[in-house]
Structure 1
Amino acid sequence: MSSPNPLLAGLRGRCPNCGEGRLFEGFLKVAPRCGSCGYDLAKADSGDGPAVFVILIAGFFCAFLMLFTELKFSPPVWVHIVIFLPLTLGVCLGLLRPLKGAMLAAQFSNNASEARHD
């Protein structure tokens, strides 16, 4: 059996070690252990990395669409609010979990750990 690609497994929300078990317990809470292979997932910490990438990606995408809509159609402000507030929220929530999984998988594949100065 070949080992899975950790980044693809992380994007799917699966264990980066085996590719089978669940990476998350809830929406963003990392499971303490993989249910399939028993790999310790509690030691992984993605920090603020996924949020930064979500802000950059979603901000670029949504701001581009808002600017395009404003320049092309010149709608009233309430149209921007009705269309782009839910769109921005959906894009942000849709990207957050896969990007957090990819960041955790990147830690796994690079054997990254926190720096200690003991």
Structure 2
Amino acid sequence: MAIEDITAQTDRELKPALLRGWRRQCPSCGQGPMFSGYLTVRDECPVCHEPMSHHRADDGPAYLTILIVGHLMAPLLLWTFFEFEPDPLVVATIFTVGCVALSLYLLPRLKGAVVALQWAKRMHGFKDSPAPSVNG
């Protein structure tokens, strides 16, 4: 394999792909929607026909969601409880709703970013897909 072939296979930019994935758009063209449901990744992009059925996001997005929500909400919960000394039931109710809402917001965005990372790094079946079109 020539050096040109290796560079042609690794020329996918990571940052734009991650931003497209965060927006839940196709990491290749940025036009088509990545999901057909809340977390169901389409088999292929409806715009550029980039195959996405072979992604392997698995538990990564859920793990990242728990990590982020836990690190944001736990210190805030402790600070609120000790600073204002509210009723524990009120704190539990407010922070439960907050944790659920933040988790529901982050989960599809992080899954899109994980799929986009796999696309940009040519992981799993993405290594065989063609290079993105320049004019798309």
1:25 pairs, out of 1, 11, 36, with: 36
CA drift of 1:111 comes to 0.4
Q: For residue 85 of structure 1, what is the aligned residue in structure 2?
A: 96
Residues in 1 aligned to 2:113 and 2:93: alpha-carbon distance in whole angstroms? 31
Aligned pairs, number? 112
2:124 pairs, out of 109, 113, 117, with: 113
Residues in 1 aligned to 2:86 and 2:107: alpha-carbon distance in whole angstroms? 30
Where has structure 1 moved over 3 Å in runs of 4 or more?
none
Identity, in percent, stands at: 37
Residues in 1 aligned to 2:81 and 2:91: alpha-carbon distance in whole angstroms? 8
1:69 pairs, out of 59, 69, 80, with: 80
CA drift of 1:82 comes to 2.1
* Alignment pair present for 1:43 and 2:54: yes
TM-score, reference length from structure 2: 0.78
Q: Identify unmatched segments of 5+ residues in structure 2.
A: 1-11, 126-136
TM-score, reference length from structure 1: 0.90
